[in-house]
Amino acid sequence: MKRLILIRHAKAEPAEKANTRDFDRALSPRGQRDAQRMGQWLGGIIPSVDRVIASPARRTRETAEELMRFWQPVPPAIEYVDRLYLPSLDEVWAVIWSFEPVWETVALIGHNPSISELRDALTGTAHAPMPTCAIAVLRCQASSWAHVLPQRCSIEHYRTPAES
């Protein structure tokens, strides 16, 4: 069985106030606090992961850095994948199917709508969109990442910053 942790990036500064392109928007102070609280929760229930895969956008990088502090003693490697910046669902599938077979637990940090669409496709159930910094831990009925397919996963844990 594979475990996939879907994480929507934490709250970023508003686009109209950022005075920068969307890709370079930083986390807001609230986003930094949320990422720290959610990282503490996630590190408490899942003490380690094999790899973190994330969009290269600044807000996802900063979210990953906050979360990494709670996976100890050795934080996992982070891989930034260009295709995860505002991707289609098909692009996200291609990334998942390319994961190394030896990885059992992978955290995927991305953006809406694709991160919520992926959760819904994997579980076969439509849910409300994931708010910023929400985390869905999925248990997938698959022995390899190439067999992680729609309706083959169940939600093991789900949490939002409002619940922390």
Find the CATH number of the domain harbouring 103. 3.40.50.1240
pTM: 0.97
Q: Which two tokens stand for residue 74?
A: 């050795």
- Predicted confidence band at 74 (pLDDT cuts at 50, 70, 90)? confident
Residue 74 per-residue DSSP state: S
| CB-count burial class (<10 Å; 0-12, 13-18, 19+) for 134 | buried
Number of domains forming the structure of the chain: 1
* Rounded (10°) CA dihedral 26, 32, 38, 41: 140
User: What pLDDT, on a 0 to 100 scale, did the predictor assign at position 25?
Assistant: 96
Which helix (H) or strand (E) element contains residue 156? strand 153-159
Q: Is the pLDDT of residue 18 over 80?
A: no
Q: Which domain holds residue 93?
A: 2-163
State pLDDT tens for residues 116-163: 999 999 999 999 999 999 999 999 999 999 999 999 999 999 999 999
Place of tokens 């600044």: 58
Top-confidence residue, 156 or 19: 156
